Amino acid sequence: MIIFGTKSRDDARGFIADGCPNCQEVRAFAVIDQYEVPHVYWVSLGKGSLRGTHMRCVHCSGTFAFNAHRYREILSCAEAEHSNLPELVRRTHPQLAGHLDQPTCQGCGYRRDRPYKFCPECGLAQKGMPPAT
């Protein structure tokens, strides 16, 4: 009896920055290419054929559709390892740069459009607020 068939293989192409629908934050995403690879006795035969590409949030592991046309570039895994989130945004999705500057609540993560003494969502006193005038 000969055992043959196909199996899936995921390869990380690189990293991009985007807004995560689950986290409601700008996050780093791994860009994943998914291949279908033929095998005999579970030994791969060749590289396989590309079945699709998706992106996975590095924070919540949510998986979403990937549209390459939205991004300036995809940072390689080696480059992304030495980059922080603002650098990733600047190089891959500069349209999001303004979202990084919004203050956020330390308690619930609510993005504030202006400084508040207390978060309008959870009521937590905000640190680093300018003194009242």
Domain identity same for 20 and 59: yes
Domain count, the chain: 2
pLDDT in tens, the chain (133 residues): 888 888 888 889 999 999 998 988 889 999 999 999 888 887 878 788 889 999 999 999 999 999 999 999 999 999 888 888 889 999 999 888 776 666 677 666 666 666 667 777 777 777 654 444 3
Amino acid at 38: P
H-helix or E-strand containing 131?
none
Q: Which two tokens stand for residue 21?
A: 């629908």
Per-residue model confidence (pLDDT) at position 133: 39
Residues 129 and 95 in one domain: no
How is 33-55 classified by DSSP, letter by letter? EEEEEEEETTEE-SS-EEEEEEE
Enumerate residues 6+ apart whose C-beta is below 8 A from 81: none
> Residue 130 is encoded by which pair of tokens?
């300018």
Q: What is the pLDDT, as a whole number, of residue 23?
A: 84
- Chain centroid, CA 26 distance in Å: 8
Same domain assignment for residues 107 and 65: no
Give the range of the structural domain holding residue 63, as residue numbers without chain letter: 4-100
